[in-house]
């Protein structure tokens, strides 16, 4: 398969794994934990819409009536007159809505409670917090779940609840879970609105009639039981219940949202009291958006304007007038916003929690959610479909890059792509609060793609290397192939002097067959022939070093002379003859009778050549001498001849001495022996080999020509096809006719 196919398969595998990771809850939590932190770090604090102000009730040290120590940390137990005075002053400054992130569950002093209730009633814009107490109700013993969570609303003290504009709970995840989401509506509690959502609707109450008219115009057939004006809706069914009903209407009519937005864009001022459609759009988004949404934090603690309660209560009339623009037409959230981590009791771990341990307070979280609603903004991951498409594209891109570029080029390219992806994600998050699965796209997929490509490339290289090594193994010894695969300098440094036994073969009738057969047929025939004899050499631990035409050169090298290697070479010669016989039996029409020569000595094995062509071959006189010994078979009519040097120490094999020969082109004579196999021979041949031929050769060496001639003739009478006896008979007859010099030493000189 080519690289493109490999890249596509790898991208498919990574895509499936990535999508599986992306769709699992643990994968999503990991993405949220890592990706959001990175994006918040890149974006940094961002401006808030300045629609909310926090009154920090921890700033009470300079109150005219100090808070008793026993209730200082229990804000609901403070003297209610303090909160009554706070409401009066905030109302005087023009606060649009006042939301208490304090649960006033129990009554206290009657006079103080009456004053607080009266202040709430008079302001007409106070929203109070209530509690949600959730318990697990056991189910039947054989049920598949342990129990069902049931949440009960705990409203504020009746007098306060009746006086307030509305009241709602504000549950948040418990520590140490990092806070990043909130409920705008609590589905498990009947879609009741949460405190920030309720506060926003209270602040946008003047837009309620316009929203009511738009719904009636869009759904004229729908029986809208809600009152048409804000005063009536507050009294019955109540603001919180009205919000729940509106949420239900929008959920049951999916097309309503589009119709309302279209109407707003066409004629906003005719339908709504305000010329701007920012608040109506935010209202529609509140009722149609997800109940459980991400929180877009504006920065570290105190990013939202915060004023200490003691400052507001200590203002003189003039100072209060100067302070009024700070809270005018805004939502004021009253709660604990401690700026000291040691005193913080209502802190939540977020992406902006400080290194010193200071978290964002619950009241600041409420104000942050309120501002998010104003901006119609949440922090949310891309849609599932978009996420899957991004995973597919990222996996395909990474795999194509990793497979088509070298690692040293792919790594910088992936790094640049990661930086570009990070910048794009940063702009996406900054602009819309949407975040892609960064950890998966920029870390896991590139790492996985690079790893798979590297492993696949490594395996492919290893396969190619193995194929090349296998191919080279047909032309070179395996140790040479191994050396070349590690370091090509072996070409220049691989020469070494060794002691080796050299074996050379020659196929009789090769030239004749080459003339008779087509080249293709001859090539196939020689491949089959060499296949037979190569196996015989390798089975005896020999190395096939070279092939020229019909001849094979095999070696048994060692650092120093070793008798066992000479023994293996001699035995290999018989195995080669047996293999050639099997080949000839299988190819009776094209037999290749084989002759073998053996010799041993010191030689150089190395790389011969220059420029761009080298051959690995033995160099030295040993190879030439072996070749001439092999050629001597043709003269003597034998099959296997070996030098005395190679036969030294080899005792288990049968042999007979052929004499001393001065081979063509040589200055020193070589003593040659015929190797005889273990197969059974006739009694006549047995006698010739062991008795008559050695005696005849002795007579020849003693220059006793007549006796030698008679001895060799007697050998031929017993074994007519004995080649060495016939050769020496002719030599004796020639020497008897032409007497050699007196210094003749029984060496037979061969001219070719």
Distances in whole angstroms, Cα of residue 297 to Cα of each of 179, 425, 501, 574, 728? 10, 17, 86, 91, 112
Q: What share of the chain is helix, strand, coil (3-state, %, to 5)?
A: 55, 20, 30
pLDDT of residue 612: 60
Integer-rounded Cα radius of gyration of the chain: 52
Q: Could you tell me if 603 and 561 are in contact, meaning their C-beta atoms sit under 8 angstroms apart?
A: no
Side-chain half-sphere of 614: how many Cα atoms within 13 Å?
20
Token match 């459609």: residue? Answer: 277
Question: What is the reported pLDDT for 151?
Answer: 73
Class of domain 487-679: alpha beta
Sequence-ordered alpha helix ranges (H) in 507-661: 510-516, 519-539, 563-586, 621-636, 644-647
Across the chain, mean pLDDT equals 86
DSSP summary character for residue 68:
P
For helices 384-404 and 445-473, angle between their N-to-C axes, nearest 10 degrees: 30
Q: Which of 595, 482, 503, 577 is nearest to 533 (CA)?
A: 577
Q: What is the pLDDT of residues 497-530, one digit of tens each?
A: 888 999 999 998 888 888 889 999 998 999 999 9
Per-residue pLDDT tens for 33-44?
899 999 999 999
CA distance 394 to 414: 11
The pairing of strands 654-662 and 747-749 is parallel
Q: Residue 727 pLDDT > 70, yes or no?
A: yes
For residue 371, what are the CA distances in angstroms to 274, 295, 329, 374, 397? 19, 10, 13, 5, 39
Q: Which two tokens stand for residue 576?
A: 């080669």
User: Rounded to whole angstroms, how far apart are CA atoms 667 and 125?
Assistant: 127
User: Quick one: pLDDT at residue 268?
Assistant: 47
What pLDDT, on the 0 to 100 scale, is given for residue 214? 84
Between 666 and 673, residue with greater pLDDT: 673
Left, alpha or beta for 684 (phi > 0: left; psi -120 to 50: alpha)?
Answer: alpha
Phi, psi of 560 (to 5 degrees): -150, 165
pLDDT for the residue 478? 63
Lowest-confidence region among 147-156, 382-391, 571-580 = 147-156
Q: pLDDT tens across 119-128, in order?
A: 999 999 999 9
- Max CA pair span of the chain: 160
Please report, rounded to a whole number, the percentage of residues in the chain having pLDDT higher than 90: 52
| Residue 648 near residue 566, CB atoms below 8 Å | yes
Write b or e for each residue in 347-377: b if 16 or more Cβ atoms lie within 10 A of its Cβ, otherwise e. Answer: bbbbbbbeeeebbbbbbbbbbbbbbbbbeeb
**Nearest-angstrom CA–CA distance, 384 and 19:** 10
Q: Which pLDDT value is given to residue 121?
A: 95
pLDDT at position 666 is: 84
pTM of the entire predicted model: 0.67
**Which parts of 273-345 are beta strand (E)?**
292-294, 306-308, 331-335
d(CA 748, CA 752): 12
- Structure confidence by residue, pLDDT tens digits, 63-113: 555 555 555 557 778 889 999 999 999 999 999 999 999 999 999 999 999
Confidence class for position 471, pLDDT limits 50, 70, 90: low
Residue 306 has pLDDT above 70, yes or no: yes
| Spacing of C-alpha 444 from chain mean position | 7
Classified as helix, coil or strand, 384 is: helix
**Helices in 309-440 by DSSP H: which ranges?**
309-314, 317-327, 362-374, 384-404, 407-432, 438
Are 673 and 658 in contact, with CB atoms under 8 Å apart?
yes
Mean pLDDT for 376-400 is 92
pLDDT at position 211 over 90: no
Lowest mean pLDDT among 64-78, 368-382, 392-406: 64-78
Residue given tokens 């033995």 in the structure block = 618
| Range with lowest mean pLDDT among 4-13, 48-57, 101-110, 141-150 | 141-150
Give the bridge partners for 736, in sequence order: none
In this prediction, residue 140 carries a pLDDT of 55
| Per-residue pLDDT tens digits for 274-301 | 434 578 889 999 999 899 999 999 999 9
The total of other beta-carbon atoms located within 10 Å of residue 746's CB is 15
* Residue 611 pLDDT > 80: no
Residue 634: pLDDT band with limits 50, 70, 90: very high
pLDDT value at position 577? 94
Burial of 520 (0-12, 13-18, 19+ CB in 10 A): exposed
Coil, helix or strand at residue 741: coil
Structure confidence at residue 270 as a pLDDT band (50, 70, 90): very low
Q: How confident is the model at residue 62 (pLDDT cuts 50, 70, 90)?
A: very low
pLDDT at position 137 over 70: no
Q: Which of the 8 DSSP states describes residue 166?
A: E
Q: Which two tokens mark 554? A: 């095999």
Backbone angles phi, psi at 418, to 5 degrees: -65, -40
Q: How far is CA 283 from CA 186, 250, 272, in A?
A: 17, 11, 12
pLDDT at 172: 82
Q: Is the pLDDT of residue 700 over 50?
A: yes
- pLDDT confidence band for 212 (50 / 70 / 90): confident
Torsion angle defined by CA atoms of residues 447, 449, 451 and 457, in that order, rounded to the nearest 10 degrees: -150
Domains of the chain, residue spans? 3-28+380-468, 50-145+152-169+295-374, 181-290, 487-679, 683-747
Nearest residue to 361 (alpha-carbon basis) of 339, 342, 346, 341? 346
The C-alpha atoms of residue 670 and residue 643 are separated, in whole angstroms, by 7
Q: What is the pLDDT of residue 235?
A: 87
**Are 219 and 250 within 8 A, CB to CB?**
no
Lowest mean pLDDT segment, chosen from 42-51, 479-488, 608-617, 619-628: 479-488
Name the band, by pLDDT with cuts 50, 70 and 90, for residue 136.
Answer: low
**Torsion, CA 59, CA 65, CA 67, CA 68, rounded to 10:** 160
Q: Using 50, 70 and 90 to split pLDDT, how confident is the model at 536?
A: very high
Which helix or strand (DSSP H or E) is residue 337 part of? none
- For residue 118, the Cα-to-chain-centroid distance in whole angstroms is 67
pLDDT tens per residue across span 227-252: 888 888 888 889 999 999 999 888 88
- What backbone torsions phi and psi does residue 357 show, to the nearest 5 degrees? 100, -5
Share of the chain above pLDDT 70, in %: 88
Q: Which one of 56-60, 304-308, 512-516 scores highest in mean pLDDT?
A: 304-308
State the pLDDT at residue 427.
93
- pLDDT tens-digit series, residues 140-192: 555 444 555 667 889 999 999 999 999 999 988 765 578 888 999 988 778 89
For residue 170 the two structure tokens come to 């504000």
Q: Please say whether the beta carbons of 93 and 134 come within 8 A.
A: no
473-480: which pairs have CB atoms within 8 A and are 24 or more residues apart?
A: 476/616, 477/543, 477/544, 477/545, 477/616, 478/543, 480/616
- What pLDDT, on a 0 to 100 scale, did the predictor assign at position 275? 35
Q: What is the pLDDT of residue 752?
A: 67
Predicted confidence (pLDDT) per residue in 326-349, tens digit:
999 999 999 988 776 655 667 888
**Contact call for residues 287 and 238 (beta carbons, < 8 A):** no
Residues in Cβ contact with 121 at an 8 Å cutoff, skipping those fewer than 6 apart: 163
């Amino acid at each position: 398969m080519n690289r493109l196919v490999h890249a596509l398969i790898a991208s498919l595998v990574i895509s499936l794994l990535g999508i599986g990771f992306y769709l699992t809850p643990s994968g999503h939590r990991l993405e949220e934990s890592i990706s959001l932190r990175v994006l918040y770090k890149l974006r940094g604090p961002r401006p808030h819409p300045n629609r909310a102000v926090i009154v920090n009730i921890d700033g009470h040290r300079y109150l005219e009536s100090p808070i008793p120590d026993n209730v200082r940390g229990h804000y609901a137990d403070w003297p209610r007159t303090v909160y009554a005075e706070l409401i009066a002053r905030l109302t005087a400054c023009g606060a649009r809505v006042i939301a208490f992130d304090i649960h006033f569950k129990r009554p206290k002093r009657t006079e103080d409670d009456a004053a607080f209730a009266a202040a709430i009633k008079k302001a007409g814009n106070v929203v109070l917090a209530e509690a949600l107490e959730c318990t697990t109700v056991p189910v039947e013993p054989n049920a598949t779940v342990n129990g069902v969570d049931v949440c009960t609303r705990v409203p504020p003290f009746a007098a306060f609840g009746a006086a307030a504009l509305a009241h709602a709970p504000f549950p948040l995840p418990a520590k140490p879970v990092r806070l990043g989401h909130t409920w705008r509506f609590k589905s498990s509690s009947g879609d009741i609105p949460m405190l920030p959502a309720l506060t926003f609707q209270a602040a946008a109450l003047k837009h309620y009639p316009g929203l009511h008219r738009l719904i009636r115009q869009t759904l004229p057939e729908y029986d809208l039981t809600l009152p048409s004006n804000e005063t009536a809706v507050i009294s019955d069914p109540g603001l919180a219940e009205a919000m729940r009903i509106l949420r239900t209407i929008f959920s049951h009519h999916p097309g309503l949202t589009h119709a309302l937005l279209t109407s707003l864009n066409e004629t906003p001022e005719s339908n709504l009291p305000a010329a701007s459609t920012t608040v109506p759009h935010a209202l529609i988004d509140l009722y149609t958006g997800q109940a459980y949404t991400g929180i877009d934090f504006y920065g570290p603690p105190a990013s939202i304007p915060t004023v200490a309660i003691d400052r507001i209560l200590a203002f003189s009339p003039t100072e209060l007038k100067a302070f009024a623009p700070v809270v005018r037409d805004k939502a004021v959230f009253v709660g604990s916003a401690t700026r000291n981590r040691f005193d913080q009791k209502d802190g939540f771990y977020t992406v902006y929690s400080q290194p010193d341990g200071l978290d964002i307070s619950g009241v600041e979280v409420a104000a942050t959610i309120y501002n998010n609603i104003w901006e119609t903004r949440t922090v949310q991951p891309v849609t599932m479909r978009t996420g899957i498409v991004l995973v597919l594209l990222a996996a395909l891109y990474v795999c194509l890059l990793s497979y088509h570029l070298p690692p040293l080029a792919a790594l910088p390219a992936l790094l640049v792509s990661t930086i570009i992806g990070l910048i794009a994600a940063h702009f996406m998050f900054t602009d819309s609060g949407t975040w892609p699965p960064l950890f998966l796209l920029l870390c896991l997929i590139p790492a996985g793609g690079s790893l798979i490509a590297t492993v696949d490339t490594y395996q492919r290289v290893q396969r190619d290397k193995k194929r090349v090594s296998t191919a080279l193994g047909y032309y070179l010894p395996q140790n040479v192939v191994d050396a070349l695969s590690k370091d090509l300098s072996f070409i220049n440094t691989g020469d070494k002097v060794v002691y080796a036994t050299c074996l050379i073969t020659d196929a009789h009738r090769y030239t004749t067959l080459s003339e008779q057969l087509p080249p293709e047929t001859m090539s196939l025939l020689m491949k089959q022939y060499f296949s037979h004899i190569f196996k015989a050499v390798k089975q005896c631990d020999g190395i096939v070093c070279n092939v020229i035409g019909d001849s094979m050169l095999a070696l048994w090298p060692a650092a120093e002379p070793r008798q066992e290697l000479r023994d293996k070479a001699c035995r290999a010669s018989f195995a080669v003859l047996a293999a050639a016989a099997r080949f000839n039996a299988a190819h009776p029409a094209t037999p290749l009778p084989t002759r073998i020569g053996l010799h041993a000595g010191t030689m150089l094995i190395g790389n011969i050549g220059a420029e761009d062509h080298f051959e690995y071959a033995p160099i030295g006189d040993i190879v030439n001498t072996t070749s001439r010994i092999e050629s001597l078979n043709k003269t003597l009519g034998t099959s296997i001849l070996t030098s005395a040097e190679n036969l030294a120490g080899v005792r288990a094999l049968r042999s007979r001495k052929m004499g001393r020969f001065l081979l063509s082109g040589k200055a020193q004579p070589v003593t040659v022996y015929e190797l005889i196999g273990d197969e059974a021979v006739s009694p006549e041949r047995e006698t010739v080999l062991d008795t008559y031929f050695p005696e005849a050769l002795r007579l020849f060496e003693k220059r006793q020509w007549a006796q030698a001639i008679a001895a060799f003739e007697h050998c031929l009478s017993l074994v007519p096809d004995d080649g060495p006896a016939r050769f020496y008979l002719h030599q004796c007859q020639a020497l008897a006719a032409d007497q050699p010099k007196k210094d003749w030493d029984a060496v037979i000189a061969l001219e070719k």
